[in-house]
Structure 1
Amino acid sequence: MSVENIISSWEKKNFKSLYWLEGDEGFYIDKIMNYAERHILSESEAEFNLTIFYGRDANWSEVTNACKRFPMFAERQVVLLKEAQYMKDIAKMEPYFENPQPSTTLIIGYKEKKLDARTKLAKTVKQKGELFASTKIFDSKLPEWTNQIVKQRGFSINPKAVLLLVDHIGNDLSRIDNEVNKILINLNGRKDITEEDIENYVGISKEFNVFELQMAVAQKDLPKAIRIIQYFESNPKSAPIQLILPALYNFFSKVIIASSISGGETNIASAIGVSPYFVKDYLMAARNYNIQALEMILLQLHQYNLRSIGIDTVSSTSQGSLLKEMVVKIIR
């Protein structure tokens, strides 16, 4: 079941006795847990029938005993076991999973790990409860995901604002969601998120960021590229080199693919996994750099990535100096 299906079933008062939430994307696990904590029971019911454990502090027998209790002044009780990946001997709860208390809803958050499907514990969870597996989404899907969460709240966000936000934050869904909520609070009746909103409320400069550096290099605009790098030097937290190099490598890898595809912008957008709005940028870069130059750029990015971590470079070389040297080589 998806997050939406689980929550929808709870809204209809359809509950299973066991939910096991696992995987490496904590955002969805937290979303289900937070809903369970705040909405399954009314405020008065929760006072007597909501029990929360944390894996670092609880042991399996405490949780099991809590699950075996009967609800007070309510049809059911809810037991939450958060951060269960840290609880020792969790497999000893398997006998309870085999025969759970019908009036108890036990929800287990097992972050950053997955059950071994070959074990008896995993087989019992699948047979007796609901197993929800949460996986990281691909970086290329982050703009689409961000668009969706904004749209779900009844707002819109322009393509460049999405890219600014995603490039700055990276694959951290919880942080993206929090930043979007912060922006929406400050829109004062407007329904569209712009680059100015990203700059004002997230703290990303709309002129000096990884996206603008990428465009400057694509356009072979060396003065602009150097100005952006100088801004990064003065504001080290705005764009560390470990963020810049992968972004450039990803961009020029897609430029190579775009240069080999025939057909319209829609075909190219689909092939490289970007919004059609940005296809013109990739085609412009393909016009400015032939295939040999693009392959050399990828090689240089790899070499400077090694140098950025201290391989084949002088230890005193600053990140800004490395970036300037690299950009000059690429553009000239």
Structure 2
Amino acid sequence: MPPKKEEITYFSLKREIEQKQFRPIYVLQGEEPYYIDKLCGLIVDNALTEDEKAFNLTLCYGVDVEMRNVIAACKQYPAMSQYQVVVLREAQNVGKAGNKHASEINMLQFYAQKPLDSTILVICYKGGSIKANDFTKELKKTKGVVYTSNKVRDYEVPKLVREYCRSINVNIEEKSVSMLAEHIGSDLSRLFGEIDKLKLLTDAKNTITPDLIERNIGYSKEFNIFELEDAIVSRNQLKAFRIVDYFQKNPKNNPLIPVLGSLFNFFTNILLIQTAKDRSEAGLMEQVNIRSPFRVKKLAEAASSFSKRSCVNIISYIRECDVKSKGQGSRQDPYDLFKELIYKILHS
């Protein structure tokens, strides 16, 4: 059994589970549901075969379960299997109808004092942290584990992309990391699902390249937000307006509001780069809260193409376009407003 004091992360628990080093009780809690669902699924699939699940997997749901029934299930022994798994989903809803949430969860403290070695209890508590001190105190004295799945911040996404790629043994170029992070963001289910799909499409080098992303997850090689940024920075007016025309013809793939949001973040970060006191790579990464060296390098290069005053004006233009495109103070077509915005940016 692994040492109690080691750092509990998704990947450390994943390794344990895949090595069939199971804990008797798992509390999976927090605001990010992806890791909670993923770990729960890993536990079930690694502890039980498909045939064993028929007799040794018990699923309970917090909205309508009584804790005494969960405890009773935990005290049963497996049938023709080394383990039985009891999963309590939606534990945040236990006892809410009678305002007895904490007292119901705390009933588990007595089971936690002496859990069965043949039972794996998995408690999925989404949206926050479990507030049952009697139970969690007992849990910490035993071999159980509490894992908190914190909400993922945008600046953390590139690191998670790299970690996930390492965990599934696929290489990824740094530009590809930035593209996935900015195009998909912190929707981890979709993000990791796309990476899984891209891995199947890699060539002999087993590498996720920008071209692979552009061809397979809704990017056009020339017409995406990154190409628009590059066209703006290089003052390539012809290419910039070709991209705008493409966006207008494909509004589902390139909705205007998120595009404006990306441009707003782009020029805000350029302004932050321009005002940074620490000009080192690490200092600039800290200044803009971006962990991708490739992305920060691109921002630093762009910062030399615009003055601070120009950036301030451009940010104001973007805000004005955002308001008008939502129908506030203007009946003009949103993409006509967008073309006007791009013209202003190119001539700033």
Aligned residue for 1:70? 77
Cα deviation for residue 86 of structure 1 reads 4.4
Of 301, 317, 320, the match for 1:300 = 317
AA partner of residue 29 (structure 1): I
Alignment partner, residue 34 of structure 1? 41
CA distance in structure 2 between the aligned counterparts of 1:178 and 1:302, rounded to whole angstroms: 33
Instruction: Note the C-alpha offset of 1:165.
Output: 2.2
Q: TM-score, normalised by structure 1?
A: 0.86
1:289 is the counterpart of 2:301? no
**Structure 2 letter corresponding to 1:194:** T
Query: Structure 1 pair 8/198, CA: closer, same or farther in 2 (3 Å)?
Result: closer
Shift of 1:123: 5.2
CA RMSD of superposed structures (Å): 2.8
Cα separation, partners in 2 of 1:306 and 1:69, compared to 1, 3 Å: farther
Partner residue in 1 for 2:329: 313
TM-score, normalising length: structure 2: 0.82
- Residue pair 2:178, 2:292 contacting (<8 A) in 1 also: no
Unaligned ranges ≥5, structure 2: 1-7
- The letter of the residue matching 1:47 is A
By how many angstroms is 1:157 displaced?
1.8
By how many angstroms is 1:42 displaced?
3.9
Contact 1:167/1:211 (<8 A) preserved: no
The one-letter amino acid of 1:51's match is T
Higher mean C-alpha displacement, 102-111 vs 83-92: 83-92
Q: Is the 8 A contact 1:27 1:174 kept in 2?
A: yes
Query: Any residues of structure 2 matched to 1:38-117 within 5 Å, and which?
Result: 38-55=45-62, 58-89=65-96, 90-91=101-102, 92-100=104-112, 101-102=115-116, 103-116=118-131
The counterpart of 1:141, out of the listed 156, 181, 186, is 156
For residue 165 of structure 2, what is the aligned residue in structure 1? 150
SS at match of 1:20: strand
**Alpha carbons 1:220, 1:288 under 8 Å: kept:** no
Structure 1 gap ranges (5+): none
2:292 is aligned to: 275
SS at match of 1:133: strand
Per-residue deviation, 1:49: 1.4
- Structure 1 position 160, deviation (Å): 2.5
Q: Deviations over 1:39-82 (max 9, x none)?
A: 02344543321222344565545434322322223443211123
Question: Which segments of structure 1 move beyond 6 Å, counting only runs of 4 or more?
Answer: none
**Aligned with 2:304: secondary structure?**
helix
> What residue in structure 2 maps to residue 194 of structure 1?
209
Q: Is the 8 A contact 1:25 1:134 kept in 2?
A: yes
Identity %: 32
In 2, the alpha carbon distance for the partners of 1:277 and 1:9 equals: 33
Say whether 1:236 aligns with 2:251: yes
Structure-2 change in CA distance of 1:317 and 1:177 (3 Å): same
**CA distance 1:76–1:279, shift in 2 (3 Å):** closer
Separation in 2, partners of 1:175, 1:8 = 22
Contact persistence 1:143–1:166 (CA under 8 A): yes
Structure 2 counterpart of 1:243, which letter? P
CA distance in 2, matches of 1:187, 1:318: 41
